[in-house]
Amino acid sequence: MTTLRWRTLPFRYTTISDFYVQLNKWLTAVFYDFLPAAGFEIREEQICTCYKIVSALQQKEVFLTEAGSGTGKTFAYLLPALCYARHTGRPAVIACSSASLQEQLVQPQGDIQTLSELLNLDIKAILAKDPENYVCAVQSDLAKISLPRHPLRSQFIQWLETTTTGDRADISGIDDELWAEVAYNSSLDCTHCRRRGYCHLARARQSLWAEQDFIVCSHDIFFKDLWSRRQSLQKEMRLLEMVRTKIPYLPRYSAAVFDEGHLIEAPALRHLGTKVNERAISRIVTLFSGLSLVTDELLGGLEKLEEMSQKFFRAVRQAAEPVNPAQSQIKMTAALKARSRELLQVIEESQEEMAMYQQFDVNQYIQELDACAEGLNNLAGVESITWWEPDKGDLWVLPRDFSQALGRELLAQQIPVIFTSATLDSGNDFAYIKRITGLEQAKTSQVDTSFDLAKQMEIYLPPDLANTEQKLERCASLLAQNGGRALILCTAPSEVEVLYNSLRDKGFDFALLKEGDQDSSLLIQEFRRDETSVLIGTGFWEGIDIPGDALTMVIVYSLPFPAEEPLALAKREAAAAEGLDPYQAIDFPAMSIKLRQGIGRLIRSNDDYGLVAILGCGADSELRKQVAQEFQLSVLQSDKLEDRPQFDKC
């Protein structure tokens, strides 16, 4: 222990065990004295959660804590995590599910700055954004000539020429399509870029290495960093040296906190999986065939590589069973397995020859081939979930025991890992979250909301919406009665477009804000500022905190059941193999958790009130009954609100 730590911590301690004693004493003073003096309520649920997080930090445990809306779970994890970071000398990572939640933590007057000023803590926090949020200087130079027509084209070009950050959040009004023209994307080759190490993205990453208490990032960035570190350790020395020349996504950290921890599965698996890309192999063959001084042995190997690749992907197409327009499930056959082994052998033989040509700046292509080899090795050697994305030429391979792999990787960090959410499970046993994370032995805690939801919130479940037109009309009627002031939650971008266009044609005198028209954080700021506006999107089920009159209605346009995609099919098959009902074990719990999150956007303080209209049940009386029963267990009322005077026009 150093004097520096004494100075930066808000209390003194003598030994490691005494650190936790003094931490609990300080937290007691904060929650019972300091925060109430500043106008905050004493919330026993918050204090209980905080003490349990301290215990998890001390024991370096994986801890699942569900804290209902209004408990103040953010302060409950920020305060102990801050002290733990300063005690260990390394930052704590706060991984969030959405950009809006990240902004809520780090923006001026956000949760972190509020705590810092109230308690005089001088908290240092930085946001590690997804790379796609930054301008690529090379893409920008090219795009200035070819940018499509847009009302803000001139303003955008001027901003590109003067920005010091290249951060999308620093300019408003730029839609996703226009931003994609200038943004970094994962297909870019930065290896030999003339601005490598000096571009906006590189500078943003380098700033993470400055002294910080918290690094706030997305779940996606966290797992991209986690899996890339694991994979780099498995590389041959030639590739390991190459990986080390790149800036890691995150510096070493002391603890990880997953806010909205129920949502980690998709980003975790996106980076746990490996892919074999058909076009990458063709590109590599073309590149090496065109090099000078290519040996006859390598040329022969390249011809064989191309031949085996064509045979392999022909077998893939024959085994593909479409699940949705973009993805096909692959049923493993003996022929496909044999082809994968043949292609893997040819790749491994070619890699030995290719290693001799590094003076031609081919490292990136060798890495691509190495990734293909890893995917083929997994395909040939382990029980896997496999799917084909024909438009991209990607064959994805994921270990069938992906949840166990995820659990092992998190435990291998040997640091405290905290999962927190208002909805970690749809029941009381955490069975669903433990199933999808493989964390069967994790410690758990559950505290209820501190709000009186029976008095503050009403649930409207119309029984008679048989088609889309009726849903659209009912949605418009509700908005008209409420004078806007609503959040509309959808499950697909196509729904957002249809709904937005329908409502726009009604000529309402309140603003309609649509996801995708500009950066999400700017949309939320506008929604908060304009108290009669309506916000529509698919990405606002979690992480939005807007107390007061700006949000008095949440409309659930569609129920958020899992999409029809290969991973969901695999989970259903696994549940059925265990003798479980896939709908009850997988589909309904996943939907229920997300629905509870969406409903939780409405009541954010003891003074809030409002209506949740769930239109997604349609005319399905059994589903309507099941949803109503689920939320009766959560103390929410399910009344026939259309019979009440204020809703008689709905």
- Structural domains in the chain plus CATH codes: 3-90+415-447 (no CATH), 274-400 (1.10.275), 453-647 (3.40.50.300)
pLDDT the model gives residue 6 = 45
Least-confidence region, from 27-31, 40-44, 432-436: 432-436
- 111: tokens are 């949760």
- 568: tokens are 């969901």
Least-confidence region, from 130-134, 146-150, 279-283: 146-150
Most confident of 73-87, 340-354, 514-528, 543-557: 73-87
Q: What confidence category does residue 124 fall into, taking pLDDT thresholds of 50, 70 and 90?
A: very high
- The string of pLDDT tens digits covering residues 588-621 is 988 998 998 899 899 888 889 999 999 988 777 7
Check residue 437 and give left, alpha or beta (phi > 0: left; psi -120 to 50: alpha): alpha
Percent of the chain with pLDDT over 70: 89
Say which residue the tokens 């433990």 belong to: 434
Say which residue the tokens 């949705």 belong to: 324
pLDDT the model gives residue 604 = 85
pLDDT the model gives residue 231 = 60
Compute how many other C-beta atoms are within 10 angstroms of the C-beta atom of residue 150: 15
Give the sign of the dihedral formed by CA 341, CA 342, CA 348, CA 351: negative
User: Is pLDDT at 325 greater than 80 in this prediction?
Assistant: yes
Averaged pLDDT, 101-117: 90
Compute how many other C-beta atoms are within 10 angstroms of the C-beta atom of residue 28: 13
pLDDT the model gives residue 248 = 61
Q: Is 84 helix (H, G, I), strand (E, B) or coil?
A: helix
pLDDT the model gives residue 242 = 38
Among 590, 598, 472, 640, CA closest to 69:
598
How many degrees, rounded to 5, is the angle at CA 219 between CA 216 and CA 224?
105
On whether the CB atoms of residues 221 and 250 are closer than 8 A, the answer is yes
Compute how many other C-beta atoms are within 10 angstroms of the C-beta atom of residue 283: 14
Pairing of strands 92-96, 255-259: parallel
- The string of pLDDT tens digits covering residues 235-262 is 443 343 433 344 567 889 999 999 989 8
Among 611, 623, 514, CA closest to 561:
623
Averaged pLDDT, 430-440: 84
User: Is pLDDT at 194 greater than 80 in this prediction?
Assistant: no
How many degrees, rounded to 5, is the angle at CA 88 between CA 85 and CA 89?
75
User: Is pLDDT at 395 greater than 50 in this prediction?
Assistant: yes
Distance CA 7, CA 541 (A): 41
Averaged pLDDT, 561-571: 88
Q: pTM above 0.85?
A: no
Distance CA 256, CA 3 (A): 26
Q: What confidence category does residue 222 fall into, taking pLDDT thresholds of 50, 70 and 90?
A: very high
Partners of 419 in the β-ladder = 64, 258
HEC readout, 200-265: HHHHHHHHHHCCCCEEEEEHHHHHHHHHHHHHHHHCCHHHHHHHHCCCCCCCCCCEEEEECHHHCH
- 237: tokens are 């020395």
Least-confidence region, from 150-164, 250-264, 482-496: 150-164
Check residue 608 and give left, alpha or beta (phi > 0: left; psi -120 to 50: alpha): beta
Length of the chain: 650
